[in-house]
Amino acid sequence: MELEERLLSVTVRREVPMEHSDYPPDMRRLIDRIAPAWPALLDVGPGWYPLLARLDARLSSIAPRYILQQCKSKFGSLSFYASPSDDPSDYNEEFNETIRAAEWESIETCEECGADGAQYVIHLWVSTLCPEHHEARIAAVDGDPE
């Protein structure tokens, strides 16, 4: 297998987006907040699901009708794009700071299992992983069958 094919097979989270019912219940609640024009998916690894559940609970207490536009991993960090309401002029500092705190927490949390992690660059792809998942990712990218 060519290096490019191995990279794609490891770095692309899902070739086919997960169905709503495939997500855990707390993630389904988060997906239900996604604005209609955006794809209904969370493009992050399962290790960040507990982080997202805590973030959703905090944001819900600040802005009960908040709207999510996108949730993904970008350069090994959570990128969470949301608004306190459907009013584009609505600005809430506490809401935004809560998101920033979760994004900072994500850079020390393994995307795969939720353990303590660090950011690694593997063939130009940045991921936040624990040592075990870091080694597994390297093996997968380098073609080791493990």
> Once rounded to an integer, what is the mean pLDDT over residues 120-137?
95
In a domain, 98, yes or no: yes
pLDDT confidence tier of residue 141, bands split at 50, 70 and 90:
confident
Average pLDDT of span 32-41: 94
Round to whole Å and give the CA distance between 129 and 120.
Answer: 7
Domain count across the chain: 1
Q: Which of 120, 43, 124, 49 is nearest to 136 (CA)?
A: 120
3-state secondary structure of 25: helix
Residue 73 counted as domain residue:
yes
pTM over 0.75: yes
**Alpha-carbon distance 34 to 2, whole Å?**
37
Which residue range forms the structural domain that includes residue 90?
3-141
Instruction: Say which residues have a Cβ less than 8 Å from residue 7's Cβ, sequence separation at least 6.
Output: 123, 125, 141
- How sure is the predictor about 40, in pLDDT bands with cuts at 50, 70 and 90? very high
Task: Please report, as a single letter, which amino acid is at residue 19.
Answer: E
- Decide if pLDDT at 16 tops 90: no
Q: Please check whether residue 52 lies inside any domain of the structure.
A: yes
pLDDT tens for 44-64 read 999 999 999 999 999 999 999
Is residue 100 a part of any domain in this protein?
yes
List of residues 6+ apart from 47 with CB closer than 8 A? 109, 110, 111, 112, 113, 114, 115, 117
What are the structure tokens assigned to 97, written together?
């700071």
Tell me what pLDDT residue 142 has: 83
The neighbour count for residue 39, using CB atoms within 10 Å, is 10
Answer whether residue 59 is part of any domain. Answer: yes
Predicted confidence (pLDDT) per residue in 83-109, tens digit: 999 998 899 999 999 999 999 999 999
Q: Is residue 146 part of a domain?
A: no
In the beta sheet, which residues pair with residue 128? 119
CA distance 39 to 71: 10
Q: Which residues contact 127 (CB under 8 A, 6 or more apart)?
A: 73, 76, 111, 119, 120, 134, 137
